[in-house]
Structure 1
């Protein structure tokens, strides 16, 4: 009689998502008044801090000043929608990034605070 031993490595698991919608609307900035004021009066600083919290380069949002459509704001929205499973359209992302930048950054910051899904980097070695 032969026996077979099966070894399975633990797989990364993502918590069940609360919703496939944004946790707040684009104009719900007054849910966090200090954050809203900071984003309105110093949007570049707020955008850099939000990007850093998201796990990206601190100065990445400063590239938004070089184009008509802010590429970093839009890219962050698309990335966040993908990470959190939010159903929305790239057309809305483009509109919000272009015409409502402070509100867009506030919405993304609120979403990160609400979801609180940690960023985990997994590395492996072949032995």
Structure 2
């Protein structure tokens, strides 16, 4: 017995780990399998879609802001013209535009804003007393919303502060939820929250 030989301990020697092999059909020889041969399947993220109403299948939209309740008081004062600088400039240079917007909403859309603008301009050019025509609509507006004042004060305000008073009436109607640039009918549609939206298709369907 060689001096370099060692007696066996009787324990099995661990087999070296070998990579799995696959057999080729052509040669029949085992070929080592590549660790990257198996394709990893990853889930594909679903496309983002807007939230839908489950009952009607239409996308939900936030409700329009509700107007504040001022309980029979003016929301702004006569001298608060700088609260809306754009309207202040328009009223100063072309008051018929602001008046037509006010008059259409006060008349609840029965007369178009163009008619009010033409009448206001004719009274201004012919008589120069357009304040008499505009103060009538201030009185009607006060009665509709239970605002403080009286017809005599309405005439005085429109006589001496025509532009400031028109700006106040414009802001008052706007603060009560009216869309001054779209008129009475559009304002009623938005107040009733009647919004026409296309049907919402499922995320997996494509045209």
Provide the alpha-carbon RMSD of the alignment: 2.7
**Matching residue of 1:48:** 100
In 1, Cα distance between equivalents of 2:90 and 2:130: 22
Take 1:63 and 1:23, find their aligned partners in 2: how far apart are those partners?
31
Instruction: Classify the secondary structure of the residue corresponding to 2:149.
Output: coil
Runs of at least 4 residues off by over 4 Å: 117-120
* Structure with the larger RCO, 1 or 2 (CA within 8 Å, 6+ apart): 1
Q: Distance in 2 between matches of 1:107 and 1:46?
A: 10
Change (3 A) 1:88 1:63: farther
- Structure-2-length-normalised TM-score: 0.44
**Could you tell which deviates more after superposition, 46-55 or 80-89?**
46-55
Other-structure match for 1:22: 74
Q: TM-score, normalised by structure 1?
A: 0.68
Return 5+ residue gaps in structure 2 as ranges.
Answer: 1-67, 179-186, 190-207
| Residues 76 and 172, structure 2, Cα contact 8 Å, conserved in 1 | yes
Instruction: Return the structure number with greater helix share.
Output: 1
Match of 1:36 in 2: 88
Q: Which consecutive unaligned segments of at least 5 residues does structure 1 have? A: 1-15, 121-127
Say if 1:33 and 1:85 are closer, same or farther in 2 by CA, change over 3 A: same
Structure with higher Rg: it is 2
Residue in structure 2 matched with residue 110 of structure 1 by the alignment: 171
